[in-house]
Amino acid sequence: MRTVFWEDSKVKMIDQRLLPGEFVIAEFETVAGVARSITEMYVRGAPAIGATGAFGMALAAQNSAATDRDGLLADLAAAKATLDAARPTAVNLSWASRRLLELAEFTVLPNVDDIRSALLAEAQALADEDVAINRRMGFNGAAVIPDGSNLLHHCNTGALAAVDFGTALGVVFACQEQGKQIHVWVDETRPRLQGARLTAWELMRAEIPMHLIADNAAGHLMRTGQVDVVIFGADRVAANGDAANKIGSYKLAVVAKENGIPVYCVAPTSTVDLNLAHGDLIPIEERGAEEVTGIGERLIAPEGVPVYNPAFDVTPHRYLTGIVTEEGICYPPFTQSLATAVGRARERVVENRKARGK
């Protein structure tokens, strides 16, 4: 089953807040509801958020009362602003909403109903492309993972973080398909425990050998020679290769470099933001204190304690061995290799759209 999908004129998704205890499909009928699903992390992971944003734009078109093109474009622009504000760090969201808005702006169609149909078709195409992209990316990454490797993975980057298959965990799944004997150290990933709740759940279902570890155990494992490769995803990659990912990724990359361990960031080209020269320009989302002071309903800190809760950190490109994309593995200098990969990906989108007769 896909993480997010369109059915019965609604945007539907796995409610990831409830995993692994409950498997529930949530559904949303308004743009405000879709935005809330992103903010409250019913859905998470940059590619999955992007697909959700695309379906949110298709929903906006469906719900619009506009009878002419200008009115529909105004409603779509308002929907894009609402969706983009839901999570500011993940660039896939604004990338996807922009892709649909530009289709409505620049495609000449007879009437607004045709535009509505075209937007839904484009959102579905974007979701389908995500699955194909993730598989290509996974097998690109698997090429640099030796048989018998111990991988250290942070956060959740599997099928739950994408439409299907996943990004960094997609590399793990590709290794499994190739018959490689691998083992994964799974960071719990405080404060929302995406590793413990989601990655462990996905790997156990796939019967891939793994151990869940406390985040602070990673350094010990690296120093004692029990980690061969560190992999994680990204929510935004700057033009120079600096990568924003779940908080704690930077620390892992620094310790890995100290111990001579390769570090690969795995991210589709839709996560690359060539408009940002470096990672210090990436907006870092700050989330509520309750994520740090409690686990579920249980309070683990003194009531009223001051909390600082950045959701992401930035790993400078000098700590990355390579950035795995669907267009191949990018190596330094990243300013050149990332721009080339993004250009190839854009050409592929155009070719796919021509093939669909759009």
- Rounded CA-CA distance 247/253 in Å is 12
Strand partners, 330: 323
Q: Is 140 exposed, middle or buried (0-12, 13-18, 19+ CB in 10 A)?
A: buried
Strand partners, 5: 12
- Rounded CA-CA distance 337/349 in Å is 19
Q: What angle do CA 135, 165, 228 make, to 5 degrees?
A: 80
Count H helices, E strands: the chain?
Answer: 12, 16
Q: Which residues are catalytic?
A: 235
Answer whether 266's CB lies under 8 Å from 232's CB: yes
On the CB side of 139, how many CA atoms lie within 13 Å of its CA? Answer: 9
| 155 token code pair | 């956060």
Which amino acid appears at position 28 of this protein?
A: F
Which amino acid appears at position 259 of this protein?
A: N
Three-state DSSP state, 40: coil
Three-state DSSP state, 355: helix
Would strands 263-266 and 229-232 be described as parallel, antiparallel, or unpaired? parallel
- Rounded CA-CA distance 185/9 in Å is 40
Query: Rounded to the nearest 5°, which phi and psi values hold at 346?
Result: -65, -40
Q: Nearest 10 degrees: CA dihedral of 125, 128, 130, 134?
A: -150
Answer whether 163's CB lies under 8 Å from 170's CB: no
